[in-house]
Amino acid sequence: MSDDEEWAFPESLQPNPRETGFDLDRTLDAVVALRAEIPEDAFTASALGTERAGNGVVISENGVVLTIGYLIAEAQQVWLSTNRGAVVPAYPLAYDQATGFGLVRALGPFDAPALVRGSTADCQPGDPVLVIGQGGRAHALKAKVIARREFAGYWEYVLDEALFTAPAHPNWGGTALVGEDGRLLGIGSLLLEEAVDGRSVQCNMVVPVDLLEPILENLLTTGVSGVPAHPWLGLYATDYTDYVVVAGLAGEGPAEQAGVETGDMVLAVAGQPVSTLIQLFRLVWALGPAGTVVPLTLSRDGATLEMELRSADRTDFLKGPQLH
């Protein structure tokens, strides 16, 4: 028995089939375990590792599984495991950088039903939800939505509106957020802390499934969303009081190539002042698509520097999938 199978939530935190208005067992079986192997020379290997594990949700009867994209970025091998013991290889179909979603397709028949997608349009803080990982009731958690707000990630990622749920699921990557009607509301992405009533609460950040609908057909047929890629700088930044500080650089990325250094403070983008991470990314993206020249004003050791970065398409740095 694997470590993933040995742990379980306390009975009081697990969903009770007598308290749900839908087929709980079928819903639980729609969530599968996902494991991916990534080449050692992959661009994301140093940050995300070469062996990644999480969850995915079956969203179509022909074996399409929705997950969080970082699990499958540059994956050479992907395997799916169901609650009933089936293990099948899968092919990475797409990783959409803007939403964070990833799609894979099972390369053989497996015994997992598809979960119907819902909408977060009416989802509000306080609403009860389930956060479900593969493994049945033991890995399903009764939770509540505690916040609904914009979110910025240091890897040049912004969601206009993300969902935050608590208590936190410990195996959050690719988990299914399910509403009271049994429909899929989102995919688990991160473990964070959120301020609630003056105290810090550990929670999961969830990407709303609504973001998938406009791009799903393109992702399935072409592997890309059809939306022009954002200009990517290759810098990892963080909010620090009223400043944005460069905390790291992607090797050979535009920022490193231009001479940006860890510890630099970003003061402005194209002359527009910057004080938050969200501001930084939105100002950069407003300049145009990937390839756009991005003027940055930086502060380093008390000196002000002006730089021009030739942005890139992040996917150009990633290895493409290989067919099994």
Would you call 206 exposed, middle or buried from its count of C-beta atoms within 10 A (0-12, 13-18, 19+)?
buried
* CATH topology (fold) of 235-317: Pdz3 Domain (2.30.42)
Confidence of residue 143 (pLDDT cuts 50, 70, 90): very high
Confirm if 56 and 32 have CB atoms less than 8 A apart.
yes
Q: Give the CATH fold of the 17-114+215-219 domain.
A: Thrombin, subunit H (2.40.10)
- Which phi and psi angles does 71 have, rounded to 5°? -70, -30
Cα–Cα distances (Å) from 81 to 133, 135, 313, in that order, read 12, 10, 33
pLDDT of residue 323: 55
Whether residue 107 contacts residue 168, with contact meaning beta carbons closer than 8 Å, is answered with no
Q: What average pLDDT does this structure show over 215-229?
A: 96
Task: Tell me which CATH code domain 128-211 carries.
Answer: 2.40.10
Rounded to 5 degrees, what angle do the CA atoms 44, 46, 51 make?
75
- CA 166 – CA 164 distance, rounded (Å): 7
Tell me the average pLDDT of the chain: 95
Q: In which band, very low, low, confident or very high, does the pLDDT at 2 lie, cut at 50, 70 and 90?
A: very low
Fold equal for 17-114+215-219 and 128-211: yes
* pLDDT for the residue numbered 3: 47
pLDDT band at 1 (very low <50, low <70, confident <90, very high): very low
Q: What's the pTM?
A: 0.95
Q: Where are the domains of the chain?
A: 17-114+215-219, 128-211, 235-317
Could you tell me the two tokens for 65?
A: 């599984």
Dump pLDDT digits (tens) for 257-294. Answer: 999 999 999 999 999 999 999 999 999 999 999 999 99
